[in-house]
Structure 1
Amino acid sequence: MTAEARRGYAKGRAKRREILDQAMALFGEAGYRGASLRVIATRCGISHTGLLHHFPTKEALLLAVLEHRDDVDGAWLSLGGTAGVERLRRFAELAELNSARRGIVELFSVVSAEATAADHPAHGYFVRRYENSVAGAQLAYEEARRAGALRPGIAPGDAGRQLIALMDGLQVQWLLSDCTTDMAGVLRTHMEAQLTVDL
């Protein structure tokens, strides 16, 4: 690949990232249905056709935004091969991270609610995401139990589902409280009541 081709590729990746960032912000502000590709293109300083070169449909852009968020968060949760109690600690740390990313939290809260409709383009994505999130939390609780760190009577499957529901519910409360709800603190208190160790 020539130096010129590498520069063009890097420039294209940078523009794609800018589009994802602007789309994330607008989807969070207006919801998926209320957001316009033309507005996103304008915010990025490109034409509507230029945006379609990177993302041929609004649905493709939404899924790219959601997948990008999951890639970043998934890599962070798995950093260092965390498991068990350490993985549960990471869930609380992720809530701390989210407290500095209002736009992402708004996007997730708005679009996940919209996507309960079976005809929403992200419906399948969110069905799979919740299945994977609950399974990941359940596995962390199972590993904590094998390590002797889970209190008797705590069922990993139920605990995993509760943790994901609590995380998402706290995000809505945090948004509605003008970002004053201590998401990470509530999560830690909840998990520590289930564990024999501190987080």
Structure 2
Amino acid sequence: MQTSPEFRRDRARLPAAERRRQILEMTTRLIAERGFWGLSMQDVADGCGLTVPGMLHHVGSKDSLLVAVLEYRDEEDARSLAGKLGLPVHQLWAEEPRRVTLPEVCSALVRRNAEQPEIVRLFAVLEAESLAPGHPAHGYFKARQRRTLDQFAALAEGDVPAPRELAIQVVALMDGLQIQWLREPETIDLVTAWDAAAARLFRP
């Protein structure tokens, strides 16, 4: 089908940064629906009004696009989480001086995730798929898990006798509740379920 002159002008006007953001948002939505293995580069390009070569000019390969999507979402979520906690983003995980506690961070995280089920679904799908060593996000999720456990353990340091063990339990509980919520959102309220579980997990 021939592209209309109006569409060509619109495409030409988009700055590179805005076009890249559009591609990442479209890819996010499609992966959340289909998983990485079901992702078609043609569908991403069509959704952005581009040809596949034109889209790849902005993002490189399919594998690099996936990692770019994950990094982009991490940056967006870090900014949102810092805002909910009333902190500048660069102080979110600062060890000295400690600005927030682990229960506060977890509560803000859960409330943030409850507002964006499509993003939580994206990460749940990709995290499961990336257990296969050949998956392009295998290394990303392995490093992300280690970083999250390190950050949570650091926040719990001095408050509990085994901060690393607590961090592992927190991540397991949070991930498990999110899976149940995604599967039955009409019967499970993520925030309510987390608050009830956190009252037991973080009890003095």
Q: 1:70 to 1:180 in 2, by over 3 A?
A: farther
Secondary structure of 1:33's match? coil
Please say if residues 130 and 136 of structure 2, whose CA atoms lie closer than 8 Å, have aligned partners that are also in contact: yes
Out of 185, 188, 196, the position equivalent to 1:178 is 185
Task: Give how far 1:180 is off.
Answer: 4.2
Partner of 1:124: 139
Partner of 1:25: 29
Name which of structure 1's ranges 57-66 and 72-81 shifts more when overlaid on structure 2: 72-81
Q: 2: distance between equivalents of 1:123 and 1:52?
A: 22
Partner of 1:188: 195
Q: 1:129 to 1:9 in 2, by over 3 A?
A: farther
TM-score (norm 2): 0.80
Name which of structure 1's ranges 101-110 and 9-18 shifts more when overlaid on structure 2: 9-18
Is 1:14 aligned to residue 13 of structure 2? no
Q: 2: distance between equivalents of 1:86 and 1:76?
A: 17
Letter in 2 for 1:88: P
Q: 1: distance between equivalents of 2:114 and 2:187?
A: 9
Task: Give how far 1:181 is off.
Answer: 2.1
Is 1:70 aligned to residue 69 of structure 2? no
Letter in 1 for 2:137: A
Structure 1 segment 78-89 matched on structure 2, within 5 A:
78=82, 80=87, 81=91, 83=98, 86-89=101-104
Task: Give how far 1:196 is off.
Answer: 5.6
Task: Give how far 1:141 is off.
Answer: 1.3
User: CA-to-partner distance for each residue in 1:138-171, whole Å, 9 max, x for gaps?
Assistant: 111115x1xxxx5xxx521111011111111111
Partner of 2:54: 50
Cα RMSD of the aligned pairs, angstroms, is: 2.2
Partner of 2:95: none
Partner of 1:5: none
Partner of 1:3: none
Secondary structure of 2:157's match? helix
User: CA-to-partner distance for each residue in 1:48-97, whole Å, 9 max, x for gaps?
Assistant: 11110011111111101101111122334445235475343122222122
Q: 1: distance between equivalents of 2:66 and 2:186?
A: 25
Letter in 2 for 1:113: A
Name which of structure 1's ranges 181-190 and 98-107 shifts more when overlaid on structure 2: 181-190
Structure 2 segments unaligned to the other structure (5+ residues) = 1-11, 93-97
Out of 86, 105, 108, the position equivalent to 2:120 is 105
Secondary structure of 1:118's match? coil
Structure 1 segments unaligned to the other structure (5+ residues) = 1-7
TM-score (norm 1): 0.82
Task: Give how far 1:9 is off.
Answer: 9.9
Percentage of pairs with the same residue: 34
Secondary structure of 1:103's match? helix
Task: Give how far 1:137 is off.
Answer: 1.0
Q: 2: distance between equivalents of 1:168 and 1:14?
A: 32
Q: 1: distance between equivalents of 2:20 and 2:178?
A: 27
